[in-house]
Amino acid sequence: MQGVFTINGHDYAPYVKHKTGLGWGRDNTNDEDAGRDKAETMHPMVTSHQRTLSLKMGPMPFEIAQQLETDLQGNDDGVRVTYPDLKDGICTRLFYNTSIDAAIEQFTKDGIVVDDINFTLITVKEAKV
């Protein structure tokens, strides 16, 4: 399986940090009646899931970092992300982003280099698009 990571059609795979650049998580959303019964058996009553992607990226040219910032500012519909999912393989889902941090690594004759870009993506809904 070849690695793919795009946001709104822009390829950011070359900028994902090696080893720990893409973290994956899945959380259950439980019904309000979830809990343990008198026999101490847990009944999670899962109603849905949400996926979380934690990203560490860079170094990249300033112009690509600007495009990334623009891509992450989705509206209520979310941003379209294609990524490797542990359950579904390469797939596309809608995510939203809450914050982004970055640092200028270097000023060069050829331009500005941005590094240590960190952000988290959380699914808008579980369905693939």
Q: End-to-end CA distance of the chain, in Å?
A: 20
pLDDT for the residue numbered 125: 85
DSSP 16: B
**What letters, b where the CB count within 10 A reaches 16 and e where it falls short, cover 69-82?**
eebbebeeebbbbb
Q: 10 has which bridge partners?
A: 7
How far is the C-alpha of 28 from the C-alpha of 43, rounded, in Å?
Answer: 12
pLDDT for the residue numbered 10: 97
pLDDT for the residue numbered 43: 62
In the chain, the domains with their CATH numbers are 6-31+46-128 (2.40.30)
Whether the predicted model's global pTM rises above the 0.85 cut: no
Q: Are 81 and 95 in contact (CB under 8 A)?
A: yes
pLDDT for the residue numbered 45: 60
pLDDT for the residue numbered 42: 64
Any idea which residue has 């941003």 for tokens? 79
pLDDT beneath 70, residues of the chain: 28-35, 42-48
pLDDT for the residue numbered 76: 74
Strand segments, DSSP code E, in 1-129 are 6-7, 10-11, 22-30, 35-36, 42-43, 46-57, 60-61, 79-85, 89-108, 111-128
pLDDT for the residue numbered 89: 94
